[in-house]
Amino acid sequence: MSYALFVDDVQVSRALPTQNDVWHYADDAGLVVDALIQDETGKPERVLEQGYSIRQADPDHADPDQAEAEEAKPLPGLEKPKRVA
Is the pTM higher than 0.85? The answer reads no
At residue 10, φ and ψ (nearest 5 deg) are: -105, 125
SS3 28: helix
C-alpha to C-alpha distance for 15 and 57, rounded to whole angstroms? 6
SS3 6: strand
C-alpha to C-alpha distance for 45 and 12, rounded to whole angstroms? 23
pLDDT, tens digit, 9 for 90 and up, residues 21-50: 999 999 999 999 888 776 677 777 888 999
The pLDDT, as a whole number, for residue 69 is 52
Supply the Cα-derived Rg of the chain in whole angstroms.
14
Residue 59 or residue 54, greater confidence: 54
